[in-house]
Amino acid sequence: MRENRLLLILLLSAIIFCLLFAYILPINRYSPKSPYNPDIWISKYSYNSNELLDVKFNTHNRGRLYFDILLNGVKTEAYLDTGNAFGICVSEQAAKADKFQIYNYTNVYNSEGALISESPQFKVNSFYIEGKQMKLDSGIIVEGKDSYIGFEPFKAGRITLDYKNKKVAFSKSRLPENITSSESRQVFNFFIMEGNGEGYIVIPIRIDEEEYYAMVDTGASVSVIDSKIANQVNAKQNIFGRVKLSNLEIGSFKTSLPSVSVHSQRAVGRGIEKEIMATIGADVLCQFLVTIDYQQRLLILER
């Protein structure tokens, strides 16, 4: 009897280990790539050396790029979140310092336009990212321990993300005209949502040769597809609600993902003709040198 119980425990342990190895670990398994060293791409993309910033990136922060920031005299960390429609969202923990004077409350919505919360809004008196002064008027205080930066500080220029070398560059100068699509580089004209989702970056993608609209979200650890897409491509969800996606096309680039989240992802934005049915997260973005030019509404992926 005791031997049978021991065998059962060993069998259950082996099953749990296999599930963890097959489904959970790949979620945190990022493979950052870059076609160039930073000194090469800052030249190609016409950045000055003083526009290059350091960031933190590893699997423990779930694919997010973290900056050291100084906000209203308070030192903290914040990750870059292109899916954030606000200037900066500061964690309650960081906001405990007596440097954030609330002057209003603002409604926070999700990508589907549903009201999530009413959050305190504060005035930004000073804001530095990795020692570089940035223009920002206000921010909000959110639950949780993480702070995150939205598109607002970067909307007057362009930003390049190098996940592999842990570097980011920001400039208000114009993108060089020779940065065009090629075999190793794709240039997309993206849509920007207005209203509740202002600043969201939306591009067309293809899954099983069917076109969908997807939001590009550096704050999303894992890419997401709507349950309607999962049903259309006959993707079988595992016990964690995730699917393997082996037929994702972004422009001419093809990639596969071992673990994609599946849930209601539909959103409708003013000025966008189709529903947004997916999110491209850090598990995809880290495979490229990523440039976002907000002034010209260009997304550039290079590998």
Q: Model confidence over 158-181: pLDDT tens digits?
A: 999 999 999 999 999 999 999 999
Domains of the chain (ranges, CATH numbers)? 38-171 (2.40.70.10), 185-302 (2.40.70.10)
Q: How far is CA 252 from CA 53, 187, 220, in A?
A: 30, 10, 23
pLDDT at 31 over 60: yes
pTM (predicted TM-score): 0.86
Residues sharing a CB contact under 8 Å with residue 78, sequence separation 6 or more, in sequence order:
66, 67, 69, 71, 88, 90, 146, 147, 148, 149
pLDDT, tens digit (0-9, with 9 covering 90-100), for 63-104: 899 999 999 999 999 999 998 878 899 988 888 767 788 899
